[in-house]
Chains A and B, each alone.
Chain A
Amino acid sequence: MASIVERVTTVPFDRKQIRKDFDEFILPHMPRKVPLLNATLPENPEDQGYLYIHRPVYEEYVQGTIFEEILDAMPFKNGRATFIHQLPGMTLRFHRDPDDKYHIAIDDGPGAFFTDMENQLTYRVPCDGHMYKLRTANHYHTAVNADCKPRTHLVMNPYMFDDDPDASTVSCSATFDFKDANLPDIFTSVATPANTIEQGFFIKWTSELIQDPRCKSIKGESLEGGARKYTIEFTSDKSLEKHFTSTTLLEACHVATKFGIKITNDFLS
């Protein structure tokens, strides 16, 4: 069975410098409650809330550190990059990502694991200065820290848009609204209908969007009553038509409507 964790560098970065720069420059900025810290920014600060956009600017605390060197050396344009600092005993909820992730382990003890839920296989991501690609796109996985020390990684998302950034663009939106839906009464405080619908019905579609080099940005907005609106920007009319009439989207929307979720596809309406 193919591993979903793959090393993608031949020469490692200086792992001692990685630890030193993290402890000295990054850790002091790490939030205590939700230990995630952003590393990259879009050129326009107003675009910070986009789900998917080019993020070529580095946070001030990253500038001048080895992490700037690492981000500059990536074989892709930078999307979101995040320092994740899982404290002992902390686990991620199992989930799918819309894209594959690239990890540099900053601190990863022998009790920290990355788990491929679909194949029930557990991996170590070595803390050796190498970058690892984790095939998490549309694939259920989680990360568990059963160690006595934090599990700390820099997680990088590639920005795969590959067209003239100054080319004219076309945009279209899709919205789901569940206020009149007949959903089963099984939600918890952290697993709300909005994020469950997003995770369960739209991750595969988002994954297909991100893989299209003509997809320039994805904006996600929460509307009144918990509805979610996605606005997708393309540099190609054909790409827009392809994705807004895709089998993935139409099947998900069809099933959603069976639960009473109202779907608006601005391309088809």
Chain B
Amino acid sequence: MKQNDYSRLTEGRYVPHGDTEFEVVLDRINSAGKRQIVFTGTMPTYDIYEEKHTGYIAHSIRDELDPSVNLDKHIETNRWKQIIQSEIARQVQDPYFAKYNFSFLNSVHNSSIKTRA
């Protein structure tokens, strides 16, 4: 096995575990008078080794709109849900997709913690 093939070993560990849920996580008028929107989709994932739901895949779209725009219609017209679904599907195929996943990320960035091999 070549070294680069190793990444394939992580594929398939985290599988989709439910439907994508959508939410507007930001809808505010900023200091410049613009209406800022952040629309996020999240899909739960299941760790087949731990046999637990351990994470989410997420993708967000950001936009600045006229305050009078009908947001629901804007989301539908611009196919934001479909775009997010497509991005989530892409992430599922990425062995490092586990962006918000406790079984993948039970690591620390503080390098004072190490293990002795």
Residue ranges of A at the interface with B (Cβ–Cβ < 8 Å): 34, 36, 84, 86-87, 89-98, 117-122, 140, 144, 146, 183-188, 190-191, 195-196, 198-201, 203, 237-238, 241, 245, 247, 250-256, 258-259, 268
Contacts and interface: CB of A to CB of B under 8 A. Distances in A.
B7 A120 contact: yes
B87 to A, nearest CB: 12
Given A184-B103, A238-B31, 20 more contacts: A36-B111, A86-B114, A93-B108, A97-B109, A98-B109, A119-B7, A184-B52, A184-B102, A186-B103, A187-B106, A196-B107, A199-B108, A200-B99, A245-B28, A250-B26, A250-B38, A250-B60, A254-B42, A256-B100, A258-B56
Nearest to A248: B60
B97 to A, nearest CB: 11
A203 B117 CA distance: 26
B35 interface: no
Contacts of A184: 47, 50, 52-54, 102-103
Interface in B1-37: 3-4, 6-7, 23, 25-26, 28, 30-31, 36
B25 A92 contact: no
Interface residues of B, number: 45
B115 interface: yes
